[in-house]
Structure 1
Amino acid sequence: MNTHFIFQILIYLFLLSIAITLVTGLYYIVNPSKRPERVAQALTTRISMSIGLLLIISFAIFMGWFQPMSLLTMPKVPLESNIQTQRDLTKQNLQNASTRPQLQNQNDA
């Protein structure tokens, strides 16, 4: 088993246990007849596990096992090919503009 798969399982287990402690805290809030210190204990456990999960993900990114993704990342294209593509598109737009029929003014008709 590779490291990536092991960390994925670890992250899913952390997320599942965070959800379980959240539901447990909600249960103790809804049922005030239970011991009130259990609410604080469940929520403290959830916060501790969330911080632990953040540290695990940060460590995996630091080690290079995970690569963060973003909507703002662009594919790396060499600059010259990008400039050439823009020139080609500009030429095509100019050619298309010159071959379009001119709109006539409706007042002339």
Structure 2
Amino acid sequence: IKFDTFTPAAERGLPVTRVVSRMLLQEILARAVGDDAIMNDCHVVDFTDDGDKVTAILEDGRKFEGDLLVGADGIRSKVRKSLFGETDASYSEYTCYTGIADFVPPDIDTVG
């Protein structure tokens, strides 16, 4: 049995939501760009954008230059605050419950 996660949402004009494990996403990104391109436990305190490149400035003073800056720093995002100023969190009216189980069901190939 496979199930469609797109059509029910699309028919109702709702956003299609998919949940991806943060660890799995990081592994996929690391394979694409190399392990040394992703750093954890680094705190961006500022950034500059000159149109051709963006420079991220870390708490320890290091600077990193790139084509873009992904602001994946959570609900109290410093990147978002720098771009848009102080903003209040707003409820999207959606709730997502997740869980992780170390279990592979015997019918994994037939259930979506």
TM-score range, shorter chain: under 0.3
Higher Cα Rg: structure 1 or 2? Answer: 1
Higher strand fraction (1 or 2): 2
TM-score, normalised with respect to structure 1:
0.21
Higher helix fraction (1 or 2): 1
